[in-house]
């Protein structure tokens, strides 16, 4: 895993005033539009995986309930997987980011530490239980990404 600076987002439109329509952005790589649209506005972190896929950590425009969206993107296939971390009526800020060879560790809501790992193939994983700050956007047992709460201080 390698943190990269050559990936960016360009907002197509923001969240509508009534909150019905979410913001959307194009992914740009080396200032070239990839044609991939993602449901986020602000890029927090982009990481290149050794197999050529990208992990994108981004946020939306909601100031009262800011979700950290974690997207696994293949430039040929588009978004392969999406996970959202959120707490109702709570905002967050991505901090204490450490990128390792096999995982990323970060804090978002407070002083908690999250670990995110990605496998090359989908693996059977039970849905997380008891995580007060996690919402999977698509319920499935086979996933590429694995997010766990390491510690809450």
More confident residue, 13 or 30: 30
To 5 degrees, how large is the angle CA 37–CA 62–CA 20? 65
**Count of domains for the chain:** 1
In the three-class reduction of DSSP (H, G, I as helix; E, B as strand; rest coil), residue 150 is classed as strand
Say what percent of the chain tops pLDDT 70: 78
pLDDT in tens, 53-110: 999 999 886 766 778 899 999 999 999 998 888 877 777 888 999 999 999 999 988 8
Rounded Cα gap, residues 29 and 22, in angstroms: 23
Q: Quick one: average pLDDT of 17-35?
A: 85
More confident residue, 20 or 90: 90
Contacts of 16 (CB under 8 A, 6+ apart): none
Q: Quick one: average pLDDT of 32-38?
A: 96
Q: Which domain holds residue 57?
A: 2-151
Pairing mode, strands 32-38 and 24-29: antiparallel
**What is the chain's mean pLDDT, rounded?**
83
Contacts of 130 (CB under 8 A, 6+ apart): none
Model pLDDT, residue 132:
53
Alpha helices in 50-152 (DSSP H): none
Say what percent of the chain tops pLDDT 90: 46
CB environment 71-83: b (16+ within 10 A), e (fewer)? bbbbeeeeeebbb
Please choose, from the candidates 118, 108, 146, the residue with its C-alpha nearest in 3D space to the C-alpha of residue 50.
Answer: 118
Model pLDDT, residue 128:
56
Enter the pTM of the model: 0.84
């Amino acid at each position: 895993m390698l943190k990269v600076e050559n990936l960016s987002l360009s907002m197509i439109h923001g969240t509508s005033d009534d909150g019905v329509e979410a913001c959307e952005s194009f992914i740009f790589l080396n200032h070239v539009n990839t044609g991939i649209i993602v449901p986020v506005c602000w890029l927090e972190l982009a990481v290149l995986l050794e197999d050529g896929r990208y992990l994108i950590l981004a946020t939306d425009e909601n100031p009262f309930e800011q979700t950290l969206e974690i997207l696994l993107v293949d430039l040929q296939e588009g978004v392969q997987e999406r996970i959202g971390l959120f707490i109702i009526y709570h905002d967050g800020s991505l901090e204490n980011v450490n990128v390792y060879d096999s995982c990323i560790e970060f804090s978002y809501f407070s002083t908690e530490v999250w670990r995110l790992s990605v496998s090359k193939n989908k693996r059977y994983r039970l849905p997380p239980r008891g995580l007060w700050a996690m919402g999977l956007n698509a319920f499935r047992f086979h996933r590429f990404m694995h997010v766990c709460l390491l510690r809450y201080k």
